[in-house]
Structure formats: C-alpha cells, structure tokens
C-alpha cells in the first residue's frame, strides 16, 4: 500500500474532546473518525487492525469447537417480550416500528435470537453440546458515550453461546471460554484480569468480566493479594465484623438543628459513623404482574460508615432502572429529607443492610425537621421488607474469603462470560428430549468481547509520547517503508524493489512515497507506529543497504538488499514470540 493512495489523514493536534490517549492517537493517526456521538467510522488502517483481531477470535473460537454463523441485528420485539427483557430494559434499547406496524428492536445482544434458533433446531440430546458464535454489530443507546471506542453506542462484538444438556456440560464450556479469552487477549498484547461480576440484564447464575487495568477505567475492582479473590465492586462482598451485643435502650428524641448529613450528625453528637443509620432513597422501575412497569419508592438503610451498592439494590427489587428519589418523592411517603428513617412509615419497600439490622442502638432520623432518635433498633422499632447485603465494598475492607484487606483498582471491561442456565430456555421454550424421552431445558452460556473497545485498550496499553505502538499481531501492516529522495540514487526504483520483495514474501508494507520532508515522514511513521521501519535513503545506501529500525526497542541495523526479507522475518518473529 502506497501512503500517497491511502484514504487517511494524520493530524498534528489532539481532538478537543479526547481525554484518553487511545482516543487522541487513533484520531490523530487516521484510524477512526467520528460520525456522531458514540458512532465511529473505522478508516482503512483501523479496519485492517479489526480484521486481524477477527482472525485471532475465529482461531480461538474454532479451537474450542465453535461454529460461526450470523444473526440479524434487527429483530422482532416479540422474542424480547417472551424473555421479558423488552420491559426490563429502558431507553438504551433501540425500538422502532416497521412499515407493517410490527414492533422491532436493534439488538443489544443476541440471547433471544439464539433461543429462537435453538427451539427450532435442537430437539434431541444427540445435538448437544454445541457452541455457536458470530461477529455482529450491536446498538446500545448509551447516555454517556466517551473515550473514543471505549464507550460507544454502536459496536462490533464477538458473542458466542454454549448449548448443553446439563449444568456439568455448561461448567465445561464455561471453562473453555474462560481460558480461550485469556489466550485471545494475550495474542492481542493486552494484559487482563478476570473478576467476578454481576450478571445484570443478562441474568444467570455466575459471571466473570475481563478487565484491562488502567487509572482511567470506569469500573471499580477489588482484589485480595493474600488469597486471589477479585470482583467488580458491583458484585463484591466483604467479611463484616459482627457488632458487639448490647441491650436495647429506650428511644430518645434529640434536637439536631441544621444537622442533615452523617458527617454533621456525628460531629454534633460526638459519635462515630458506625453508631448511625444512614437512609438512602431510590425510585426503581419494576415490572408488575401484567407486564407493565412502574416507578416504586425504595427506602434503603445502611450503617453510617458504609455506602449503598445500587447494583445489589436493583437486583433485589428486580428493577430495570434505578435513580435517586427527589425531595418531593421522599416527602410523599411521610419521610423528611435529611432527617428520615423507616420508623412509622407504611406501604414502603424498606431494604436494610444485614450489618445495620444487627447493629444495636443506632442514631436515626426522627422524620421531623431538626430532630433525630437515639437507640433505634431493627425488629423493635421498625421492620425491613428485606434484610440483605446492600453495602458497597471499599478498599481496606476484609476479604470475604480470607479476611485480608482488599485493594481497589480501576479498569475497563473488555470481555464477559455468563452462565445463563435455563434463564432463556424456560422463557422461550428451548427444550430437548433426553435419553429417556423426557423433555429438558437446554442449558446455555453467553460470552462476549467488544472488538472496538479491545482495539482502544490495546492502543491505551501500547503507545508513547510519539504515537501508537501496535503489537505485531494486530499491526495494520508489518513494515513501514520511508522513502527519502537522494541525488546519487534512484530512490523510487529501490523502494519498488523493497516493496515487491516484501510482498512476494507475504509481508505487505506501507510505503511512504509522498512528496513530504523527512521530518514529516518520520513523525507520521512514529504516529502510526508499525512494528518495523525501513528507511530507503542515500545515507543507508552508502552504508551498504537499507536501514531497519524496530519501532519499540532494538537497535537500528543496515542490511543489504539481498538479506532484507530474511532479516525482516527474523525481527518480526522475535516480536511475535512473546504473544
């Protein structure tokens, strides 16, 4: 490929809205262009990277028995209604009506489409197990797209689905995917860790996320360096110290003027936060028996030294959406903002954290402006609708498995795997006949990798102040040939010889034949950053051949034309070996 013919353009300045290095460099190097909020065009260079990622994905999926197919991104809403997710997912789902008046959706994922296939194809245990996968566009109308390809609305995804006769088979397929995903990320040059996660809208029994650790990541992750426990903060649990036993003391109303926060309350009464009950209010979008959704008030109580985990709350009440309640909504149930407690409230869903329920004689709001109550005790003074772990794990909390202090880190999710079990089989009637002729549900797993996010994270991991640093496995071209004109040599003819020799060896180069200065060409070579750079110049010609320089590390060498291909292959093999 001649750079003079490449449909691309490099930029000298970072785009104004780009905060992540990957976003800045992918735009500046001419890999992507934004069409709309969270919607990007993959330019020819990026598309070549994308094709290399696809090749790795296909090789690893086929290695565990996967069969590729292609399912539609536009789907009838009926199958999503069967699974109930049509009602559970909010405005992130793209919905429309076709010309015949049929309700349609843009697929966010393909569990429903797979289930529809399975119920029409799988009838006998002899057809199981199976793994099917595809590479397909998804649409998720994210309200906050950011960071280039890391958080978008339209994205390309590898999603695979395992079909088994029983849970033991699912365990096997889950382990196969778990290990295959690590191989995929390693071959792409991306270090990841797997953490336990919340299954979210996917449902199911167990889930893991593959996380690229970076300070700019949106996910909070907790790790135990002592025993290896790891989890997304949304799903993390901790070992909570049992509070000391105390006799219940009488309720005591105390004046607390202009004291409406836990910090103010503890300072005013000179008590630790652990001696208080914190009230946090939400509105949850929950499904009624008839399938309709409504907003329901959710009153949560945690101890004052803890925070509410909104994911745990949403899962407990089966809310498809959760938002903070307004002051008017708080007052509508009889509570007083800043001085609220569940005491005396009726007809309200009250979720109490297990530790708050066990902690005696706490200070809580009196539901009266300027007053709190001492010695509030669950069971005597109020009753919970549900007692559960609804607190958020924090750095320094005790590991649930060994008790050591947890460490907090940040990361970007680049893949996930779910044990769906019979979640969709039961909803859509995916059954088979076992050896005894009995009808059984197909046991399913779901597994996904976002390709654009993977590419962005690779760019985030592999770059320096000059530009990108593609691993040899993903580089759009293996070699960047920089042609510098000279007075005593035919640089164009020599460049053509170099290009033809590399092509004949299956190593298509990117040849910079533009009428630009050496500085511009070298800057663009550093910005695009291919694994090897070959300089065709009068200086290298006088030194005995062609100058080869690995983009990252390694020394510049000059080799004669007749040894060029052998040396290039040797250097590329050395770069690929660690992957």
Domain range summary for the chain, segments of one domain joined by +: 21-236+408-459, 252-388, 479-576
Does residue 85 register a pLDDT over 70?
A: yes
Q: Which band of pLDDT confidence, cut at 50, 70 and 90, is reported for residue 200? A: low
- Which CATH number applies to 21-236+408-459? 3.30.930.10
Q: Which band of pLDDT confidence, cut at 50, 70 and 90, is reported for residue 190? A: very high
Q: Are 449 and 209 in contact (CB under 8 A)?
A: no
The mean per-residue pLDDT over the stretch 464-484 comes to: 93
- Supply the DSSP string of 396-443, one letter for each residue: TSBPTTT-PBPEEEEEEEEEEEEEEETHHHHHHT-EEE-TTS-EEEPE
Look at residue 456 in the predicted model and tell me its pLDDT: 96
* Dist. CA 191–CA 212, nearest whole Å: 6
Residue 40 is encoded by which pair of tokens?
Answer: 């990007």
CA–CA–CA angle 305, 309, 313 (5° rounding):
125
Look at residue 288 in the predicted model and tell me its pLDDT: 77
Does residue 471 register a pLDDT over 90?
A: yes
The mean per-residue pLDDT over the stretch 492-498 comes to: 87
Look at residue 489 in the predicted model and tell me its pLDDT: 72
Closest CA to 452 of 3, 23, 12: 23
Q: Which band of pLDDT confidence, cut at 50, 70 and 90, is reported for residue 347? A: confident
What is the H or E stretch that residue 211 is in? strand 206-213
Q: What is the pLDDT of residues 205-231, one digit of tens each?
A: 788 999 999 998 989 999 999 999 999
- Which CATH number applies to 252-388? 3.90.960.10
Only one residue has tokens 């007075």, namely 487
Q: What is the pLDDT of residues 224-270, one digit of tens each?
A: 999 999 999 998 999 999 999 999 999 999 999 999 899 999 999 99
Does residue 201 register a pLDDT over 60?
A: no
Look at residue 290 in the predicted model and tell me its pLDDT: 67
**For residue 60, what are the contacts with CB-CB under 8 A and spacing of at least 6?**
180, 183, 184, 187
The mean per-residue pLDDT over the stretch 128-154 comes to: 95
Residue 368 is encoded by which pair of tokens?
Answer: 């009266």
* Dist. CA 538–CA 544, nearest whole Å: 10
**For residue 188, what are the contacts with CB-CB under 8 A and spacing of at least 6?**
53, 56, 454, 458, 471, 473, 474, 579
**For residue 419, what are the contacts with CB-CB under 8 A and spacing of at least 6?**
170, 174, 204, 205, 206, 207, 445
* Dist. CA 234–CA 195, nearest whole Å: 11
Q: Which band of pLDDT confidence, cut at 50, 70 and 90, is reported for residue 203? A: low
Residue 25 is encoded by which pair of tokens?
Answer: 């460099």
The structural architecture, per CATH, of the domain 479-576 is 3-Layer(aba) Sandwich (3.40)
Q: What is the pLDDT of residues 511-521, one digit of tens each?
A: 999 989 999 99
What pTM, to 2 d.p., does this model score? 0.89
């Amino acid at each position: 490929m001649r750079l003079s013919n490449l449909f691309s353009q490099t930029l000298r300045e970072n785009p104004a809205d780009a905060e992540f290095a990957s976003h800045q460099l992918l735009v500046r190097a001419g890999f992507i262009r934004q069409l709309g909020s969270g919607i990007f065009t993959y330019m020819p260079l990026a598309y070549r990277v994308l094709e290399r990622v696809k090749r790795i994905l296909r090789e690893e999926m086929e290695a565990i028995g996967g069969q590729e197919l292609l399912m539609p991104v536009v789907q009838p809403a009926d199958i999503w209604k069967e699974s109930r997710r049509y009602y559970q997912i909010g405005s992130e789902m793209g919905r429309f009506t076709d010309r015949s008046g049929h309700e349609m959706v843009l697929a966010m994922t393909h569990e429903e489409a797979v289930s529809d296939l399975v119920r029409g194809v799988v009838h006998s245990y002899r057809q199981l197990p199976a793994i099917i996968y595809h590479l397909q566009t998804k649409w998720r109308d994210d309200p906050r797209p950011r960071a280039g390809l890391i958080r978008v609305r339209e994205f390309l995804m590898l999603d695979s689905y395992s079909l088994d006769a029983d849970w033991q088979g699912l365990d096997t397929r889950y382990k196969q995917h778990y290990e295959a995903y690590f191989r995929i990320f390693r071959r792409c040059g991306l270090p990841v860790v797997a953490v336990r996660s919340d299954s979210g809208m996917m449902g199911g029994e167990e889930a893991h996320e593959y996380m690229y650790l970076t300070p700019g990541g949106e996910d909070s992750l907790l790790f135990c360096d002592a025993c290896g426990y790891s989890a997304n903060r949304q799903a993390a649990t901790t070992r909570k110290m049992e509070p000391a036993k105390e006799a219940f003391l009488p309720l005591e109303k105390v004046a607390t003027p202009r004291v409406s926060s836990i910090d103010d309350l503890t300072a005013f009464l000179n008590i630790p936060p652990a001696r208080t009950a914190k009230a946090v209010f939400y509105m949850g979008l929950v499904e009624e028996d008839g399938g309709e959704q409504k907003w329901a008030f959710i009153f949560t109580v945690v101890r004052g030294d803890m925070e509410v985990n909104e994911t745990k709350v949403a899962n407990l009440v089966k809310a498809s959406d959760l938002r903070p309640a307004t002051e008017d909504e708080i007052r509508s149930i009889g509570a007083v903002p800043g001085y609220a407690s569940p005491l005396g409230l009726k007809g309200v869903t009250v979720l109490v954290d297990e530790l708050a329920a066990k902690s005696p004689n706490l200070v809580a709001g009196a539901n009266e402006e300027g007053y709190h109550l001492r010695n509030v005790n669950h069971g005597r003074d109020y009753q919970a609708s549900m007692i559960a772990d609804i607190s958020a794990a924090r750095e320094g909390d005790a590991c649930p498995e060994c008790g050591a202090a947890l460490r907090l880190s940040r990361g970007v999710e680049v893949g996930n795997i779910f044990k769906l079990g019979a979640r969709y089989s039961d909803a859509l009637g995916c059954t088979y006949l076992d050896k005894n002729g009995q009808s059984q549900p197909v046991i399913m797993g779901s597994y996904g990798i976002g390709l654009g996010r993977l590419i962005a994270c690779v760019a985030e991991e592999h770059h320096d102040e000059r530009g990108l640093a593609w691993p040899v496995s993903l580089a759009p071209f293996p070699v960047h040939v920089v042609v510098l004109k000279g007075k005593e040599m035919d640089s164009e003819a020599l460049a053509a010889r170099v290009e033809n020799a590399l092509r004949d060896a299956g190593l298509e180069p990117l040849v910079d034949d533009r009428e630009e200065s050496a500085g511009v060409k070298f800057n663009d070579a550093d910005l695009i950053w291919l694994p090897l750079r070959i300089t065709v110049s009068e200086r290298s010609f006088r030194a005995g051949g062609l100058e080869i320089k690995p983009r990252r590390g390694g020394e510049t060498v000059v080799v004669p034309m007749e040894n060029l291909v052998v040396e290039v292959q040797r250097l590329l093999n050395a770069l690929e070996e660690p992957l």
